[in-house]
Structure 1
Amino acid sequence: MKLLPTVGIICMAAMITACQSSEKSEKANGQIQLITLDPGHFHAALVQKNRLEGVDSVVHVYAPDGPDLQLHLDKINGYNTRPENPTHWKEEVYKGADFLDKMIAERATSGKKGNVVVMAGNNGLKTDYIKKTIEAGFNVLADKPMVIEASKFEELKNAFASAEKNKVLLYDIMTERYEITTMLQRAFSQQAEVFGTLEKGTPENPAVTKESVHHFYKNVSGSILTRPAWFMDVTQQGEGIVDVTTHLVDLVQWECFPEQTIDYQKDISLTSARRWTTDMRLSQFKAITKQDVFPDYLKKDVVSDSILKVYSNGEINYQLKGVHAKVSVTWAYKAPEGAGDTHYSIMRGTKANLIIRQGAPQQYKPTLYIEAVPGSKDLEASIKTVLPKIQQEFPGVEVKKIGTGWEVVIPEKYKEGHEAHFGRVAQKYLDYLKAGSLPAWEVPNMIAKYYTTTQALELAKKQRAKE
């Protein structure tokens, strides 16, 4: 009988040794270990939709208990159990109100519970999460937006400074850089023989315009998305002008001034900004949240006891390095049958305009066009000249003549869809981690991007107050 405790101790010691050996092996192999912090948005799950090379299958989750966490775990389970290309994630979950402190404390005491924190959730809390997580020595991959109000902009700036000091990487998830029509719009804009040079534009006729239409009721990964009620609270999710426009401002920078550093104090000048609401009936709110009543924190935005007014729409007119740009986002409740979120974009060059359309004529699929500007000569010959350069990076891409110009014909292999782009961003971030740094322009340009959106919100509020 006395031998049993000894045997138990030996077995326990063996298990501990095996675990330590496993952890040492993982570290030796340079495996990344993910942590998901307070997942309140489905984007957190999309990072794990597919296997990520060099990432441990064990993912630590720290979150308060509740429906947001359960929805996240259900999505991960769906990826693990799907018939084709199932993933093999093992979610180790800590539930508790002290989840953030617990995550930081466990790293301090053991250092074994992950080294990259993925954040996609309540944006009102996100800037604080980022600051504390970076200061604790974690790398952070954060969904947009990193900040939703001007009063916290300096806190985000300080987080980037802490990241540099602690030798960790802070990066946001810019999926739209991986949409093929946007990639090709950027590529053609760098071919002077076709595009010429970027116009400067005017406030009335910007050189660059990007418009995005989104929908509260939508299908994600094969099922109707259940949104948390706080998604409709702009103090938690952020207004549209600081949320989805983050992508559009990023694309303006990324396409117009590729790999160039932007100084937010010198290169950005706001012209005007505006914001307006989307009205949602209680029955519509129920359909997307599965909640029968508006929670107390939304009642400030409810009129006539049944209409929720959400400031989800916004427009920014500004100058970037002297180039006039306009970005806008509109949220409707539900898309027309067969449609979905849509994107419109134009870059105006001195020889040609590059236009992405995604309406009914395009069957709601983004399509890139090249259209000559008045006075352009021999554009067709120029397109034929530069096409081989484009094809070096994008094999199989062609152009065809149409009545208004040329349509860029894109092979289906490039049309991955929005959900697949999260994996692309994550893999790019992992490459940066292996290299030990981000490109030199990324951090100042992230700071410039969030300066643009948060200052635009302040301007829109002031202009609204004058009306």
Structure 2
Amino acid sequence: MSLQHCAFLLLFSMVFYSCSNSDSGNGETSSNKFTGADGEVKLMTVDPGHFHASLVQKYGYDQVDSVAYVYAPDGSDGLQRHLNRIEQYNNRTEGPTNWVEEVYTGADFFDKMIREQPGNVVVLSGNNAKKTQYIKQSVDAGLNVLADKPMVIKPEKFPMLKEALSTAHENDILLYDIMTERFEITTLLQRALSQDTDVFGSIVEGTPENPAITKESVHHFFKYVSGNPLTRPGWFFDVDQQGEAIVDVSTHLADLILWETFPGKGIDTTEVEVVQADRWATEMTPSEFKKVTQIEAYPEYLQEDVSQDSILNVFANGSFVFTVNGIHGKVSVEWNYQAPEGAGDTHYSIMRGTKANLVIRQGEEQGYVPTLYVEPVDGNGGNDYEASLKSAVDEIAQEYPGVSMESSPNGWKIIIPDEHRVGHEAHFAQVTEQYLQYLKDGEIPEWERKNILTKYYLTTQAYQASR
């Protein structure tokens, strides 16, 4: 055989191998095959109008390439603030990151991202008006999606989200939302203690007036993020673009109720029902609006919510009660303009059991630090009960060293060392690491997938009921 013939056969075999292993025509993209190797995940951030987009990148990850791609419209009001935060993370003294942001701006920013696909994970955190559409188009294009909540803000878009979740599952695409509150230490311990029948007993069914599990949170429009005053875009105060609280922050609380009450179990939409819902407005003056947005006057899209005395009414508050297999849960979200001195966003939660209530308080008495209490009911609380609680706390301390208990007026307070209180911003890294593990595993657990759909079913049903 001649050398020319050998060379031809070698070239032919290389071309054949390349074609037979290409992604074209087989409906499966190599971008969805992850091994956990360094740099194999490449981020594409779409129109980062919310500061949560930058918090995904507050820390670096071995599995994530340092080059991140950003696609945004011309004149994006959040783009420069996003880039400034990334630069701040890169230049900090302690634990600097090394992100390189490749930015494209233009009216066709989303279509261009879909066409080019320089990355394999789409990060969505911004204006929510088109978020469900962006999710669906990204999934249809074979791209994994890590989305800030909410994934949907209007009931008419819920079928689109449902279809996107189904398509993602069928095609081994990972569609996931950022549920940071699961990583708050008091919530983790509340969940753990609720699984100990000697301490908690079993959860009661409750009623609409006195639910079995309640989650309430208070937020503030003006706040500090990464040490700097937060500037919010004007559209944040338009419920048609940001979404009302009942479909926005409520997503976290509905998620926690499913996650804590039925750990590791997927809840179907047929197993839940919204019982009642309500909404109300927060009033904001022109000077307050200017301070938090750096915008001189209310934009046109907000005019319908402005009263004759120039007060902006933001329907940022909402609550609803729902049942999960007969157990009543309540979600409530309130937005104020600014927290009192020394305070911040606060959380209250109670899980009511047959032996004890597990209560998280974060008020002035607690120094605005989330604090977990175990408060026995119906004659519990004697020496035997205290021994059972101590045994449960000692077991928890094996995973969270230093966790202990001390007496409180109505029972016991769980003592949590500061090392376990990593803070809200760090929770984004924890969620991202969970998502990276799911990418490596090649799937999102079934219970996670079912509960993603069900919690948005709840929030959109509550949206309708509130009217």
Normalising by structure 1, we get a TM-score of 0.91
Give the unaligned 5+ runs of structure 1. 1-22, 108-112, 462-467
Which string of whole-angstrom CA distances, capped at 9 and with x for unpartnered residues, describes residues 130-175 of structure 1? 0001100110000000000110000000001111222110000000
Q: Which residue identity does 2:376 align to in structure 1?
A: A
1:295 paired to 2:304: no
Residue 62 of structure 1 is aligned with which of 49, 57, 71? Answer: 71
What SS does structure 2 have at the residue aligned with 1:275? strand
Q: What's the offset of the Cα at 1:385?
A: 2.4
Cα shift at 1:203:
1.0
2:440 counterpart of 1:434: yes
Alignment-derived partner of residue 140 in structure 1 = 145
Equivalents in 1 of 2:38, 2:125: separation in Å? Answer: 28
Out of 96, 100, 114, the position equivalent to 1:104 is 114
Q: State the alpha-carbon separation in 1 of the partners of residues 249 and 391 from structure 2.
A: 37
Question: What amino acid does structure 1 have at the position aligned with 2:140?
Answer: E
1:246 matches 2:251: yes
Deviates more, 1:71-80 or 1:341-350: 71-80
Distance 2:246 2:216 in 1: 12
Alignment of 1:165-180 (within 5 A): 165-180=170-185
**Structure with the higher fraction of residues in helix conformation:** 1
Distance across 2 between alignment mates of 1:454 and 1:53: 37
- Give the 3 Å change call, closer, same or farther, for CA 29–402 of structure 1 in structure 2: closer
Aligned to 2:407: 401
Residue of structure 2 in register with 1:422 after alignment: 428
Secondary structure at the aligned position of 1:147 is classed as coil
The offset of 1:315, in angstroms, is 0.5
Deviations 1:27-64 (A, max 9, x none): 97562111101111000000000112311000000111
Superposed CA offset, 1:66-113 (max 9, x none): 221111111111111112211110000010110111011113xxxxx1
Q: Which residue of 1 aligns with 2:379?
A: 375
Describe how 1:64-463 pairs up with structure 2 within 5 A: 64-66=73-75, 67-107=77-117, 113-265=118-270, 267-304=271-308, 306-376=310-380, 377=382, 378-461=384-467
1:35 aligns with 2:35: no
Which residue identity is paired with 1:75?
Answer: R
Aligned residue type for 2:108: D
Question: 1:211 Cα shift?
Answer: 0.5
User: Following the alignment from structure 1 to structure 2, what is the Cα–Cα distance between the partners of residues 232 and 403?
Assistant: 42
- 1:46 counterpart residue number: 55
Q: 1:234, 1:311 within 8 Å by CA — same for their partners in 2?
A: yes
Aligned-partner SS, 2:217: strand
Residues 272 and 325, structure 2, Cα contact 8 Å, conserved in 1? yes
Separation in 1, partners of 2:67, 2:36? 13
Q: What is the distance in 2 between the residues matched to 1:399 and 1:350?
A: 21
Q: Is the 8 A contact 2:276 2:322 kept in 1?
A: yes
| SS of equivalent residue, structure 1 residue 261 | coil
Residue of structure 2 equivalent to 1:110: none
Distance, in Å, in 2 between the alignment partners of 1:52 and 1:309 is 41
Distance (Å, rounded) in 2 between the aligned partners of 1:32 and 1:230: 31
More displaced stretch, 390-399 vs 210-219: 390-399
Q: Contact 2:214 / 2:329 at 8 angstroms: preserved in 1?
A: yes
Shift, 1:318, TM fit: 1.0
Name the TM-score, length of structure 2 as normaliser. 0.91
Distance of 1:384 and 1:219 partners within structure 2 = 38
CA contact (8 A) 2:39 2:65 kept: no
What is the Cα deviation at residue 446 of structure 1? Answer: 0.5
SS at match of 2:199: helix
Quote the Cα distance in structure 1 between the aligned partners of 2:394 and 2:220.
38
Encode CA deviations 1:233-256: one digit per residue, 9 max, x unaligned.
000000011100100000000000
CA contact (8 A) 1:53 1:427 kept: no
Tell me if structure 2 keeps the 8 A contact 1:38–1:69.
yes
- What is the CA–CA distance in structure 1 between the aligned matches of 2:392 and 2:301, rounded to whole Å? 55
Mean CA deviation greater in 400-409 or 335-344: 400-409
Q: Counterpart of 1:398 in structure 2: which amino acid? A: S
Q: Which consecutive residues of structure 2, in runs of 5 or more, have no partner in the other structure?
A: 1-30
Distance 1:29 1:52 in 2: 8
Instruction: Specify the SS of the correspondent of 1:303.
Output: coil
Q: Does structure 2 conserve the Cα–Cα contact (< 8 Å) formed by 1:359 and 1:365?
A: yes
Cα separation, 2, equivalents of 1:200 and 1:28: 47
Cα separation, partners in 2 of 1:27 and 1:189, compared to 1, 3 Å: closer
Identity in percent:
58
137-146 or 318-327: bigger deviation: 318-327
CA distance in 1, matches of 2:273, 2:112: 42
The answer to whether the 8 Å contact 1:135/1:166 transfers is no
